[in-house]
Amino acid sequence: MADYTEGLANANRFEPGIITAGQPTAAQLEAAQAQGVKTVVNLRSDGEMKDFDEAALVKKTGMNYVHIPVAGPNDINEANARLLDEALVPGALPALVHCGSANRVGALIAYRARFIQHKNDHESMGLGIVAGLDPDGSLLDAVAQKIG
């Protein structure tokens, strides 16, 4: 069986047990479950979810589904960082954390690193970029301001 991350946009093995990525297909989610993923964290807003009912599919496969809508910079905040941190506890891993492109994933990872994990601002931004924060994207400056 092929690795479910093959062809998955911006897929990155961020930390042991955590894959960050863009939007997976239904087939990739089913393959993720078959390959041991326990939790799917979706950061896309409700209005973006038109391709298929991801929540229903993930629940049908037996994986945990966590939805933390992040529509833009205002949603990169402590409450959502805490929800992400709670979703990524050891018993819930391996986990797939995604948005449309991985940009919002990286932004929230950076915020979590700074304010939940108490890493310095430089390390937090680096972790965000590794997780998918686009170094040339619109969220970079907003995240840098929030954590700097």
pLDDT attached to residue 85:
98
Average pLDDT over residues 121-143: 95
- Give 4-26 pLDDT, tens digit per residue: 999 999 999 999 999 999 999 99
User: Is residue 1's pLDDT more than 70?
Assistant: no
pLDDT attached to residue 138:
85
Average pLDDT over residues 50-54: 87
For the chain, which residues make up each domain, given as ranges? 12-147
CATH code matching the domain that covers 12-147, chosen among 3.40.50.720, 3.40.50.300, 3.90.190.10, 3.40.50.620: 3.90.190.10
Average pLDDT over residues 130-148: 94
Strand 64-67 with 12-15, pairing? unpaired
Average pLDDT over residues 31-59: 94
User: Is residue 108's pLDDT more than 70?
Assistant: yes
- Give 42-51 pLDDT, tens digit per residue: 999 988 878 7
How many angstroms separate the CA atoms of 103 and 21, rounded?
9
What is the three-state SS of the chain?
Answer: CCCCCCCCCCCEEEECCEEEECCCCHHHHHHHHHCCCCEEEECCCHHHCCCCCHHHHHHHHCCEEEECCCCCHHHCCHHHHHHHHHHCCHHHCCEEEECCCCHHHHHHHHHHHHHCCCCCHHHHHHHHHHHCCCCCCHHHHHHHHHHC
pLDDT attached to residue 52:
85
